[in-house]
Amino acid sequence: MSHATPHYASFRSIGAYVPEKVLTNADLEKMVDTSDEWIVKRTGIKERHIAADDEATSDMGAKAGQTAIERAGLNAEDIDLVLCATVTPDYFNMPSTACIVSDKLGIKNVQAFDISAACSGFVYALSVAKAFIESGMKRNVLVVGAEKFSSIVDYTDRTTCILFGDGAGAAVISATENKDEAFVDIHASADGSYADFLVTPAPGSVNPVSQKVIDEGLQYVQMKGNETFKLAVKTLTKDVKEILEKNNISAETIPHFVPHQANYRIIKAVGDALKMREDQVVLTVHKYGNTSAASIPMAINDIWESGRLRQGDMMLLDTFGGGLTWASALLPFAGKSL
Ligand code: ACO
């Protein structure tokens, strides 16, 4: 009896795109009743980037995707699945942003679909890519995390508008027969009983577009910030401890802990609970704010472009977001170092 060679999923490359326009805390001070001091103290955010009016989520996703494909040493024809994690798609609800990204990249006639898991979307998409590759169905998956959060933020609501930014990140996940390059583990989970913690009430089947939707601003993101904060710290700490214990890996040996960049205080609390040193914890929240599904790949791109992420380095990803959803992953970087 013959056995086919097993396929493992490996993280081949990373790319990102950051829109040009910068929205600083000083700018926000002129828009709502807030202060740079409050924002920095409560969130660690100093500025965030905002997409141009004519720049869609797919434009940013395609730019990040192009970079990731080039850095993997591949061409558009090599990609056989495109996943786009986003909750700010080009269109509610069709076509999917993944279809549009594929078209912009010249990726023809391959399966493409979106993943909706808010800030956890990129790690959710990695788990889907892993499953497709390990089952032997696909060989090179483009995973994009792209958000134009500014399109659903109410810039008169000081409790949300200070938090979010726009941007995109992308990775190519490829089949490998080398177990050293393989994803170690991914854990993703959800609890819909907390759906009202983070919600854009419209448009959707509950609240189709109407004058009432516009009058009440139901198209904007709403968040129970404080409740979400407490649950995020508790859930993430438990989740990352579990994935490390399950795989018998101690936190101190991880060179790059890449948490979702929602709030410096959440990152610090989880990092401290794991006894992580400062140099292990990747931080971009001060310059990008919370870019939801784009936050983790943008952060990975930052350490790659600064030369910190080397081939073979282990990464611990963890994230938490609307749904509620959460996820963590342990995987080595299998691409070339800069
Ligand atoms: N400027 C000044 N004051 C403000 C601002 C602001 N921008 N926003 C709120 N306040 C005030 C509030 O009105 C409140 O005033 P009060 O005490 O008089 O009522 C006070 O500051 C404290 O408000 P809290 O909401 O309790 O502040 P908190 O310390 O919780 O910080 C924050 C708020 C930053 C939103 C925090 O709760 C947070 O980061 N939450 C988690 C966000 C998150 O992780 N989301 C999940 C991922 S996002 C996704 O999936 C899309």
Q: Where are the domains of the chain?
A: 8-179, 185-290+301-332
pLDDT in tens, 125-162: 999 999 999 999 999 999 999 999 999 999 999 999 99
Pocket test for ligand 1, best of 159, 166, 198, 235 (most atoms within 8 A of CB): 159
Q: Which amino acid is at 39?
A: I
Looking at the CA of residue 34, tell me the nearest atom of ligand 1.
1
Residues 6+ apart with CB under 8 A from 92: 203, 204
pLDDT band at 3 (very low <50, low <70, confident <90, very high): low
The pLDDT, as a whole number, for residue 100 is: 98
Cβ(119) – ligand 1 distance below 6 Å: yes
Cβ(295) – ligand 1 distance below 6 Å: no
Respond yes or no: is residue 84 known to be catalytic: no
Give dist(CA 36, CA 28) in Å, integer.
Answer: 8
Cβ(292) – ligand 1 distance below 6 Å: yes
Give dist(CA 334, CA 237) in Å, integer.
Answer: 26
Residues forming beta bridges with residue 23, ordered by sequence position: 48
Provide the CATH number for the domain formed by 185-290+301-332 in this structure.
3.40.47.10
Residue located nearest, by CA, to atom 30 of ligand 1: 226
Asked if residue 84 lies in contact with residue 49, where contact means CB atoms within 8 angstroms, the answer is no
Strands in 67-184 per DSSP E: 81-85, 111-115, 140-148, 166-176
Q: Which amino acid is at 62?
A: A
Q: Is the pLDDT confidence value at 1 over 60? A: no
**Directed axis angle between helix 97-104 and helix 57-71, to 10°?**
50
The one-character DSSP state at 264 is H
Helix segments in 72-207, DSSP class H: 97-104, 121-134
Which bin fits 289, alpha (ψ -120 to 50), beta or left (φ > 0)?
left
Residue located nearest, by CA, to atom 2 of ligand 1: 34
Give CA angle at 162 (121, 39), nearest 5°.
115
Cα(163) to centroid of ligand 1, in Å? 9
Cα(15) to centroid of ligand 1, in Å? 31
Looking at the CA of residue 323, tell me the nearest atom of ligand 1.
50
Percent of residues, the chain, with pLDDT higher than 70: 99
Asked if residue 337 lies in contact with residue 305, where contact means CB atoms within 8 angstroms, the answer is no
Measured in whole angstroms, how far is the alpha carbon of residue 62 from the centre of its chain? 15
Residue located nearest, by CA, to atom 15 of ligand 1: 159
The pLDDT, as a whole number, for residue 5 is: 72
Residue located nearest, by CA, to atom 46 of ligand 1: 321
Q: Is the pLDDT confidence value at 2 over 70? A: no
Give dist(CA 161, CA 220) in Å, integer.
Answer: 10
Respond yes or no: is residue 260 known to be catalytic: yes
At 268, list the tokens.
Answer: 């610090």
At 189, list the tokens.
Answer: 């989970």
Domains 8-179 and 185-290+301-332 share a fold: yes
CATH 3.40.47.10 for domain 8-179, yes or no, is: yes
**Distances from the Cα of 300 to the Cαs of 48, 281, 328, in angstroms?**
17, 11, 14
pLDDT in tens, 48-105: 999 999 999 999 999 999 999 999 999 999 999 999 999 999 999 899 999 999 999 9
